[in-house]
Chain A
């Protein structure tokens, strides 16, 4: 059971704009499907981590990576919105983002078990082939009881 692409997009939109931290950072939905999700955060002064360079803060990238991983899990579970909680998140920073540049992230939920989702993610500023950061994460899935899953896939 999985959602059609349009409904999944609406769900992605919803995740990017209604979660308070995502809305505060100004996340924008790009795409979701096949266990993948993509979000972007436009640059703005308030999000700068180093005033000498105007580069967006690492913390913003951390939130973006974590949130995009959540979107990928939603995509991987066919659009069912489980409660998920981050178990661990490892981030490698290859380089600083370009000054005054936004950041885009794509995450792939490549393995789902009954209770855990394993996700990889990449973030880049301009060129996807030249990432600023990569991440590897594990999330706990709080699946509802089986019967509830079969009957009532959550809607945004």
Chain B
């Protein structure tokens, strides 16, 4: 198993909240797709029903942290989890009771700060349900 794959597996296994969400991820080279299977406890609106807005935001943020973890696998201190500085979440569509996917794009990874954009979709990537833009403080040395 390559370093990024091991790092990702470690992140998914070690973080209790990732297990609480039920989030998984698949790696193709260094490109990760995060997967959030639908589960009843993720519901925020029982009438529609729809995923909780907080869950969508949390999934996007956790995707950013996981992708940073993969990217930082080889760097000193890369085993530590980055810290979120700020996030802006834009909601485009309700999250339906379906599996949700997300991909993070590391727009800039500097010495201390990373700028990350994440998008989430369900049935079709061309119909995103939410975007996140955020800054993260890298664990570093």
Contacts and interface: CB of A to CB of B under 8 A. Distances in A.
Interface of A: 18-24, 45-52, 57-60, 62-67, 83, 85-93, 96
Interface residues of B, number: 39
A6 B47 CA distance: 25
A23 to B, nearest CB: 8
Contact of B89 (A19, A60, A67, A89): A89
Given A90-B89, A91-B88, 5 more contacts: A18-B46, A20-B40, A20-B43, A22-B44, A87-B90
Contact of A49 (B42, B81, B89): B81
Contacts of A67: 44, 52, 54
Contact of A59 (B14, B21, B51, B94): B21
Nearest to B47: A83
Interface string B4-29: 00000000001111011100000000
A129 B85 CA distance: 19
Interface stretch (B57-65, B105-113, B115-123): B57-65
A21 B94 contact: no
